[in-house]
Amino acid sequence: MKLNLLAFLSLAITLIACYEPVAPPDWSKSVAPDNQLVQRIIVDLNSSFGNSTVIRGTVNARIGSYKLTNASSEDVKISAFAITMNANASSFQNLRARIGSVQIGQTYSTLSPVERYVFSPYGSFVMPANVTIAIDFYSDVSANVVVSTLITQPSATSWASCSGIGMTTGDTIFCVGNPNGQRITITAP
């Protein structure tokens, strides 16, 4: 019994002598979206598309436009992006996203307030480093909007989120910024 106790004490003393404290993690270098310093995509309202007025029943009306700037040091494959609709979402239908004339992701036929609409690019949508693109949102305006409830609102859409993968590092890259979209006024014909 004494031999086992001596062996145990010897092992305990050896472990204590070899112990080196480990530095705590540096949480300031987190990869959370708000803390990314280099690997990020910056989202802003697209100022080249201002507030607009559309006539009820209009098909394919542009109701929001955002610009994305790849501030990452590498090309980024965009995995998904999302917007939310405002309280008057039922005034619109067939929501779709486009870059130029190319539709990105699916069409949402029925819209609800505060619902998140996620667009996942088919195939490969790669943003080169240090490039800015515009993503436009189009919708059909309901012909049934009642004249007394015609809409003038702060915005029809709000940017919700986006993410991608760095093509060189494989790191997850998030968007920074959640701007509200442009003011859209719906009028009678």
Structure token pair of residue 17: 């002598």
Radius of gyration of the chain (CA): 26
DSSP secondary structure letter of residue 175: E
Query: Which residue is associated with the tokens 């915005």?
Result: 155
Question: Over the stretch 4-55, which tens digit does the pLDDT of each residue have?
Answer: 555 544 544 444 444 444 443 333 333 444 444 457 899 999 999 999 888 9
CATH fold of 39-187: Immunoglobulin-like (2.60.40)
| pTM, 2 dp | 0.77
Who's near 14: CB < 8 A, 6+ residues apart?
none
Q: Is the pLDDT score of 155 beyond 80?
A: yes
Instruction: With beta carbons less than 8 A apart as the criterion, state whether 175 and 163 touch.
Output: yes
